[in-house]
Structure 1
Amino acid sequence: MDLSILTEALASKSYDKIAVICDNLMLQVAAEGTAFQNEWPYAIHLLGHIYADDINSARFLWKSIPPAIKEVQPEVGAAWKIGQKLWLRDYGGVHEEIRGFNWSPETQCLVAAFSDIYTRKMFQLAAAAYSTISVQDAALFWGMNEDEATKYALLEGWTLDEASRMLTVKKQPVVAEQKLDPGKLQRLTEYMFHLEH
């Protein structure tokens, strides 16, 4: 079983491609009739789907993994625990599961990259949903301690009320939508028609 394309994707930090690569390789190996279950990088495959924010596919992959593999490869179970927390929208739990396992060198960088994008996503979610948020809640969402969360928010331009320990969100400027001129659309349509005929 040749996993060199997967190894190259991991080495080049092309984490957004991991799930597709693994899916395609799994189909290829299965079509060849090769026994692969004991050698398959299930943890990386699960984490690839989690990184790609494809929890449904991760869930189906988890269900297809033989129970014997789940028993002898604790990293597979640890990867799925992250998926479970995402499925349940347990934002703080995602970070706990990431920190709660000693990841192998093969998965460590992928998990760290996912942690970074997940933290950023949670930051953007908080910025969109709140005008103020407690330091404690922000720390939970972002998987940080309260000092780290405060520093992170302040670096993003938020403000802190020391007395109440509340962060005030710096709202991003709203980008005005550009109006489409019907005359320009008509000219573009005529131009495209002319090119095609």
Structure 2
Amino acid sequence: MDLPPLSKEQLVAVLTSSRSPTELYDTLAKYETTACLIDGKESELLSLYYSIFFFSHLLTDQIYEARAMTQRVPPILAHNDPSLQNCLTLLRAVWQRKYDSVYKILRELPWPEPLRLAVESYDKYFQQKTLREVSNAYEAIRPGAAAGYLGLDPVAAEQGDPALIQQFTAAGWTWDAQAKLLHPKPIPVSPKKDAQIQNELSQIMALVGKYQG
């Protein structure tokens, strides 16, 4: 079946209607040949396409592929478009595992309105992924460090903010008030689809999300 013509309206429709990051990626990948043939004067459309496509790579953990995709973006667009420049800055932070920078880029850099859903989705996804990684990597961790990994307030966490500590215990972690240490509970990793993984952690991160920023 033929795809609808590539347009800003179609990109927003794909972004909002996709049932999972994998579906979003698969649909956008089918448009890449079309995007390559679009006149460079359609910079706003190309910017939105490549920006959303970039986030679909991140949401499906295709970091190497995201890096390769940025090299296929028309150079004049990659070097001058603010959204794509933000994407490249984010890619470097993710690549280098600079957690604080990832959250700061997602939450503080200017993103155009049509792209905000993808940005917010990746913010939540990155938190969920990091929560799993921290839960499986540490037997004990200081609350400030844990908060930094999840984009929360490390000062409040280090001070033992009860409400914030409760968010970690809601994830199955235990809190040693005397030693001022959190003890993560490992989260089993299974080959479930990305949408299923997100559903498993949605309730936890909905609570944690209250303390973002």
TM-score band w.r.t. shorter chain: 0.7 to 0.9
Matching residue within 55, 65, 72 for 1:57: 65
Which residue does the alignment assign to 1:9?
14
Which residue does the alignment assign to 1:35?
39
Please give the TM-score of this superposition, normalised by the length of structure 1.
0.75
Partner SS for 1:167: strand
Which residue does the alignment assign to 1:106?
114
For 1:123 and 1:53, the matched residues in 2 are separated by 15
Runs of 4+ in 1 over 4 A off after TM superposition: 171-175
**Aligned CA distance change for structure 1 residues 174 and 110 (closer, same or farther; 3 Å):** closer
Q: What is the Cα deviation at residue 69 of structure 1?
A: 1.6
* Greater Cα radius of gyration, structure 1 or 2: 1
Which residue does the alignment assign to 1:122?
130
Matching residue within 21, 33, 40 for 2:27: 21
Please give the TM-score of this superposition, normalised by the length of structure 2.
0.70
Q: Contact 2:18–2:24 at 8 Å: present in 1 too?
A: no
Q: What is the Cα deviation at residue 8 of structure 1?
A: 2.2
Note the alpha carbon deviations across 1:112-138, whole angstroms, 9 max, x for none. 111111111111111111111111110
Matching residue within 132, 143, 155 for 2:151: 143
Q: What is the Cα deviation at residue 174 of structure 1?
A: 11
Which consecutive unaligned segments of at least 5 residues does structure 1 have? 176-197
Q: What is the Cα deviation at residue 62 of structure 1?
A: 1.4
Note the alpha carbon deviations across 1:57-108, whole angstroms, 9 max, x for none. 2111212223322344211111222211121122232212112213222111
Q: What is the Cα deviation at residue 171 of structure 1?
A: 4.2
Q: What is the Cα deviation at residue 7 of structure 1?
A: 2.7
Q: Which has the higher contact order (CA 8 A, sep 6+)?
A: 2
